[in-house]
Amino acid sequence: MQRLSAETRAILLLCGHFGTTAADGKPLTPAEYHRFADWLAARQLSLGGLLGGGLSGALGEVRGINIAAARLATLLGRQGDLERALDGWARAGIWVLSLADAEFPARLGARLKSAVSPLVFGAGPRRRLGRGGVCIIGSRDSHEAGLEFARRLGRRAGAAAMTVISSDMRGVDREAISSTLAAGGNVVSVLSDSLVKAAAAKRNRDALADGTMTLVTPFSPDTRFTVANAMRANKYQYALSDVAVIVETRRKGGIWSGAEENRAEGWVPAFVRSGDHMSPGNLALLHLGYQPIGLDDVETCDDLMAFFLAKREEAAAGVPTRAGRPDFYAAFIAELNAVAASPVSAETIAEHFGIEAAQARSWLARANQEGRVRKLGDPERYVAGPA
């Protein structure tokens, strides 16, 4: 069984989900934990000192953080449940790290700040969590072109000794991970549901045994899948990485939200797959300033990490990207056939693609001249197909 510090035990008691939760003993959320930790620090009290009832008098004085002292006492009294949970996790090969541990990945706290979970659970080598890598992320229902891109990028990253960080979701993420492992590379798989099941899954067994895979999750090891947790897990993939590649996204859902959050927070430089069968979501992210990366870039660059670094420097310096630049108009036309299958306004088209109405009108005028779309009369509408 893993040996835990007093501080980590206290954090597990306060925040861990295990055993039977009493009505007045709901584990602390990350935000609540950070408020309580700040309260303790301001009084020069330690988390480890909470064990054994040594600070019972101080807990009775908790004020101003919207956490009842009785709730804290109930949580800290779960010693027996914690021991049983730790024993079960150890049998499954699962470890736990808290913010109090030196091995807790520093970039998580630095990037996610008060939103970071004070606990992460995992299986496989812990040391890999602090070494960065390339995050490869995409839709579970990606087009075959996206899946093939993920496979080739995974193989290239694996051959270049770059750790690939993704999830265990089917589709783009799982294809990237399996291709990286097949090329002899290392992976970090960020989970949004049961770590216990993932650690025992046949597809992960060999990689965990030979130390090329690390599974990690900010959720309890037996957590069931929820959409909310899947969306929360996305930020951990970005936060553990040096760079991210979004292979395919819709204009809503977890992949899109994670990309937008990364753009807002500036965690890592991010690229979007460009080329054949680009989704409207990919096109929208390119318009929002994400840099394109095509299959030719992946296949022909001499050094994959050097490619990412060079593109980041070009973007910072305002240098236009030329090699691999996507043909936005071609992508627009490819999608337009579906968008304008029946007459629609230029504003509706602009909203669909996430572009300015003036840009949509410019491309529609060109498409009209080329016979790709027809402009109808009052009110002004457009429909795909020749006149």
Residue 141 belongs to some domain of the structure? yes
DSSP 3-state of 202: helix
Residue 113 lies in a domain: no
Give the side-chain half-sphere CA count within 13 A for 259. 31
Which of 112-116, 272-276, 383-387 is predicted with the least confidence, judged by mean pLDDT? 383-387
In a shared domain, residues 286 and 176: yes
Residue type, 92: A
Q: Is the pLDDT of residue 315 over 70?
A: no
- Report pLDDT for 21: 65
For residue 383, list its beta bridge partners. Answer: 374
Q: Provide Rg for the chain, Cα atoms.
A: 25
pLDDT at res. 56: 65
pLDDT digits (tens, 9 = 90+) for 180-235: 999 999 999 999 999 999 999 999 999 999 999 999 999 999 999 998 999 999 99
Helices 346-353, 357-369: axis angle to 10 degrees equals: 110
Torsion of CA 234, 111, 195, 5, to 10 degrees: -170
Instruction: Report pLDDT for 178.
Output: 97
C-alpha–C-alpha distance, residues 255 and 258, integer Å? 5
Q: pLDDT value at position 5?
A: 94
The SS3 of residue 108 is helix
* Alpha helical stretches, state H, 30-78: 30-42, 56-59, 69-76
Q: Are strands 213-217 and 119-123 parallel, antiparallel or unpaired?
A: antiparallel
Burial of 226-259, coded b for 16+ CB within 10 Å and e otherwise, reads eeebbbbbbbbbbbbbbbbbbbbbebeebbbebb
Number of domains in the chain: 3
153 and 52, same structural domain? no
Asked if 233 and 185 sit in the same domain, the reply is yes
DSSP per residue, 320-340: PP-TT---HHHHHHHHHHHHT
The answer to whether residue 335 is domain-embedded is yes
pLDDT of residue 327: 54
100 inside domain:
no
Per-residue model confidence (pLDDT) at position 324 = 41
Closest CA to 106 of 86, 124, 125, 120: 120
Domain-terminating residue out of 269, 286, 317:
317
Q: Which of 11-20, 54-63, 260-269, 331-340 is least confident?
A: 54-63
* 141 lies in the same domain as 256: yes
* pLDDT reading at 134 higher than 90: yes
Structural domain boundaries enclosing 258:
128-317
Is residue 108 assigned to a domain?
A: no
Looking at 317, 340, 361, the residue that finishes a domain is: 317
Confidence (pLDDT) at 326? 47
What single DSSP character describes residue 294?
Answer: -
Across-strand partners of 337?
Answer: none
Which of 97-103's residues contact partners 24+ apart within 8 Å by CB, and which partners? 97/8, 97/121, 97/122, 97/126, 98/5, 98/7, 98/8, 98/11, 98/12, 99/11, 100/5, 100/7, 100/8, 100/11, 100/47, 101/5, 101/8, 103/127, 103/129, 103/130
The SS3 of residue 123 is: strand
181's torsion region: left (phi>0), alpha (psi -120 to 50) or beta?
alpha
The SS3 of residue 224 is coil
pLDDT for residue 334 is more than 50: yes
Is 248 found in the same domain as 170?
A: yes
* Within a domain: 71: yes
Q: How many secondary structure helices (H) and strands (E) does the chain include?
A: 18, 11
Cα–Cα distance for residue pair 58/171, rounded to 1 Å: 51
> In terms of domains, do 284 and 255 share one?
yes
Please give the Cα distance from 51 to 6 (Å, whole number).
7
Distance of CA 354 to the CA centre of its chain: 22
CATH of the domain at 367: 1.10.10.10
CA-to-CA distance for 122 and 196, rounded, in angstroms?
9
Compute the average pLDDT of residues 370-386. 84
Residues 170 and 148 in one domain: yes
